[in-house]
Every structure is written in structure tokens, then in C-alpha cells.
Structure 1
Amino acid sequence: MTESTTMSAPDLQVGPPLGWWDETELGPVHGLPVMTHGCLARRATRRRPLVAVGGVVLDLTPVVAGSHPGGPHVLVANAGLDATDDVELVSLHSQPAVRSRLARHACARLAAAPADPTWHAWQRVLDLAVLVRNALWLQVQVPRPGGDLLVYVGQSYAHLLRDHAVQLTRDLSLLGFEEPVDLPAPRLDGLLAAIARDRSDPEAADLANALLADALDVLAAVVDAASLTMEWLEQVGGVGEVGAVDGVAAADAEDGTRSDVRRARQVRRLLCDWVAGHAARLVVLDRGRS
């Protein structure tokens, strides 16, 4: 799959009906290219938040640089996601003038979600990875003293390893036909707080930024794997039940393992190695304090 806004599959369908929008608001939106859910997740960045609303992908870069009433953070938090439900919760968005301004940022139509349950299982993996990625992006944007940054990152990092990473490995285990594994879940928030007390602000900030960078690298790998697998499933036409192989989704590896299963196992191992590696790294840092 090439990194493109559009899909080349001849039967690719656009997303939900545009009933969320008034026809007069959208103008030439029907002539826009079609963007897959995976492409939306991959191409969105904190500086270019692509957000889907009502079946239309909006490039909200000018809004981030401008004056969004809720601040730029709320846009970054939804980058790469279908934010229709969140947008509808704010009554201001129902005003014609606001909707008209939103429609000016349309850059693509969102592709329809296939009925394939395996695709939807990968979608859950993708959405969780994107949500956590966006949350870490926001942490990078907030200036804090080094010690405070390390403590705050420690709290979020503990949540990431104890909850999000565990959920991701469980979802990937189901997709990769492997049993879930127990991951180490150290009390990172308390440990990092203790480390911060013994370090100067620059040293603490360096450690916090290193942890964030490592986490973002791993989450980027999860986003890539999930989005590319979803697009592979769209091309082959679906695989039926989760974990089932049929004549449409043929094996494409030398050992007969299907692409999505192989990717699930690879990303799951990456997550497990990352969690175990950081647990060991922080133990070493803790010992270095004494």
C-alpha cells in the first residue's frame, strides 16, 4: 500500500451518508478523494490534525494555528480519529455559521468501514493507539519544570503500561491466535517521583523526554501496523470471523501465516519487549539513586 490519500481498490466505498452536513455547506466535497481510516490515522500529526466529522475528513491545521474556542489541544487530541460524536456534544457546532467554517477545511471523504469483524478488531487497536499517541503529543506541548515533567509523565506512563499496553497486547493476542501474557506493571509514578527529587531540572527533563520519545516510537509502530493491516483487509475483501482464514484472504508468507496474523504477533512482541525493557531500565535508574 503506498502512502496515498486515496485507495486504488475499485470497490472502495465512501463513508456514511453526509446527512450530518447540509448540502449547501459542503459544496464540491463529493469530488474530493476518499481517505481510508488507516490513512487518516497515519497522516495526522499534532501540527496537522486531520479529523473526520460526519464522513468528511477535515484538515484543521489553520484552526490550530488560529483561535479555536476550546484551544488547540482538543483538536490534537482527536487527530486521526472520527470525532463526529465529540463534535455533536458541543451545541455551538450545530450553528450554521460554525458548520460552514468547518466545511471549508474538508480535504477528503472518509472511506466506508467494511463489515469484516477482523477489520473492526484492528480498528479498536488503532483507535486506542492513536488516543494514547495524541495524549502523549499533548504532554510534549505543555512546558513544565524538569522535575514536575518527570512526575507527570510518570503518572501517565504508569497508566500507559498498566492499562493501555495490556489492553493492546490482549487485542493483538486475539488477532494473532496467542494467549495474552502478563506484563510487568511497576509503580512507575512513585519511582519517577523519587528519581526526580534527586535530579536537577535539566536531567529530569531529559529523562522524561526520552521516555516520551520511546513511547511515541512504539505507538507509531502500532499505528502503522494496524492501519496497514486494515488496508490489506480492505484490498483482499475481508476474512470473515476474527481469526478465520478463507479463500479470499490467502496466506502470503512462506510459513503460510496470513499478513494480519503475522503483524499482530510482531507488534505484540514489540509491546511486550518495550514494557519489560522500560521496567528494567527504571529499576537500574532507581538503584543509581542510592
Structure 2
Amino acid sequence: MIRVHVPATTANLGPGFDCLGMALKLYNIVEMEEISAGLAVEIHGDGAADIPRDESNIVYQAAHSVFKEVAYQPSGLRIKLTNQIPVCRGLGSSAAAIVGGLIAANKLSGSKLTNDKLLELAVRVEGHPDNVAPALLGGITVSTAVEGEVQYMKITPPAGMKTVVAVPDFQLSTKLAREVLPSQVSLNDAVFNVGRAALLVTALCQGDLSKLCYAMEDRLHQNYRASLVPGMKKVLAAARLVGAKGVVLSGAGPTLIAFADKNFELIAKVMRDTFRENGVMAKVMVLEPSPIGATAMEVVS
């Protein structure tokens, strides 16, 4: 049996829409083994009641793409999922499922595909690389598609930096969160985000967290999505007041994520309390960045 641990991820980091992401130390486990016939899917943890257990399961779909690529035909599959990453909350649950399925299937079929090829397959399924890249590679990733190939660079997270995530008790689909975005933006807003994204990458490379308050500003997606997350702007402001270096929407939301080097528990309390004051119950967690991505091992079942 193959067992894969896949980290949660936070995408965009403010201005880096669809191209920046970071792995976090919160994990889903994907277990996969070949059986004599059929498909058996077992699911535990977050989303267990809602995730399909047939061939529409995204882990199975990812695995099937690997088997097709390497011309391997398993007699049957048993898949067990143990989920800690909240589903549809902006912490990369679908990316974790995709990457877990790809890696498990690759190892099961002889480890014929490189990480670069796995990343290419992951983007085909997910549609964009901002979550799947850090889920696979770990750390902070800058990634983009160029002529059908994913080009990426990896940054080691700054020492001492942790995140505080506030996870509201409602789901928000990426599809809905994208539907509220405009199809075009002004030149001023585009220039604004290019400058902030460049500053953010440089600040993270140099470990200068003091720049995050400016570098994580955004005009491409967060303001449009604020209406989907009650109290969002108030939570962002409250976290900054108690020491967060930068606070943004995690991926498509509704989770909000603060970056800091101290006052983690105070930031968590303030984010939770501010959400509650705006009618939203939220779970808060202090999570470290994960410098490594998904890991796989073969275990005797």
C-alpha cells in the first residue's frame, strides 16, 4: 500500500493571483493499493459525508490520469482518505486530493513520472498551479503556465514566520468566488498588483516581514470577494492592529490568513472574535509553513 501525506496550501498571498502559493503544516493522507477488482473508496475526516466514493472521486480521477499516461492498468483500486484540510474553505483541499492521487498512482505504477510531469498533470486537473505547486513541492512557489508547460520557482519560507488561519463555518466554492470577479481590470489596478507581487516575492526571499503590510495589498480579487465573506474587511483590520504583518484572503476563501512572527494566539483570538461579532463562527489554527511538499512511502498493510 502507498501512503501519501499532502500539505494544505494557501494561494494568491494577496496580489499573486493564480501564481503564488505556500504549503502549510496541515495534512491529508491518501492511501492507495491495488486489489483484485473494482473500486473501494473509504473516507474519514473533513467532508467525509459529501465526497463521492465512485469514479467521480477526484483522487481516483487524478490516479487514472497517471495510469493512462504510463499505460498501466490496475486490476482494481482501494483508496482511503483521511482529511484534516477543511473542504471548500480556501486551503487547497482539492489540490491535496489531486496531488495525493497523482503521487500514489505514480508510485504504485513504478514511479515513472518526474515531479515536473506530475505538476503538469495536476494543473490539467485543477486548472491553475497556485495550490498544486506548493502541495507537490512545498515551501512558497511562484508558478505560471508558459506554452503549455508549468514554469516555477521555489522559495524557502522565512525563518520564524507562522500563519494564523481563521476558517469560517461555511463553504465557498472556487467557482462562485471566480464568478464575482470582473473579466477585465484597469491598467492602474494591474500595475498596482504587479508592483505588490514583485515586492512580496522579494520580501519573502529576503525574510523582511516588515514589507508584508504593503506587499500583500491587492486590487484584482479580494475587494470583489469581500461580499462573500461577512466581516472580512473588519477581520483583516483587526488582525493588523494586534501585530499581523500581512493578512489576506486564503485562495478563493472564505478562510482568512495572517502572517506574523509573534502574537500568534492574540491574532487568532482577535480574528475569531471579530468574525463572531459579524455573525460568523470560525475555527482558528496557528500553522507553520511546510518547507517540503507531499511525501510518499510504501507500507505493509
Normalising by structure 2, we get a TM-score of 0.28
Normalising by structure 1, we get a TM-score of 0.28
Greater share of helix: 1
Larger Rg: 1
Greater share of strand: 2
Structure possessing the higher relative contact order (Cα contacts under 8 Å, 6 or more residues apart): 2
